[in-house]
Amino acid sequence: MSPTGPAPRPDGWPDPNERTCDDCGHVWFAGERRHEYADVEAASPEDSDVVCVLCRRQRERPRSAERYEGF
Ligand SMILES: [Zn+2]
């Protein structure tokens, strides 16, 4: 298995693990699945959703399908 790496986090943004997942309400703690910013191009971390890796993968499914179709 080779999961995609974590999304790059812009400088100065707090650790997304400190926020709950906006999709499923998952709360991170050591050993649990990571959280990531859903929109790293948002103006500020507050403008971006934070999602756990499971929800992030769900959100990305349409996008990767598009990418595959374009190939
Ligand atoms: Zn989640």
Q: How far is ligand 1, taken at its centre, from the CA of residue 68, in Å?
A: 25
Number of Cβ within a 10 Å radius of residue 56:
22
- Report the 10 Å Cβ neighbour count for 39: 13
The rounded Å distance from CA 40 to ligand 1 centre is 17
Q: 46 CA distance to ligand 1 centroid (A)?
A: 17
Report whether pLDDT(64) > 70: no
44-69: average pLDDT: 82
Q: Is the pLDDT of residue 62 over 80?
A: no
Give residue 59 CA to ligand 1 midpoint distance, Å.
10
Residue 25: per-residue pLDDT: 97
Grade residue 8 by pLDDT with cuts at 50, 70 and 90. Answer: confident
pLDDT at 6: 61
Closest CA relative to residue 39, chosen from 2, 3, 5, 10: 10
Which among 45, 47, 51, 49 is positioned nearest to 24, based on CA atoms? 51
Band (21; pLDDT cuts 50, 70, 90): very high
Q: What's the 49 CA to ligand 1 centre distance in angstroms? A: 11
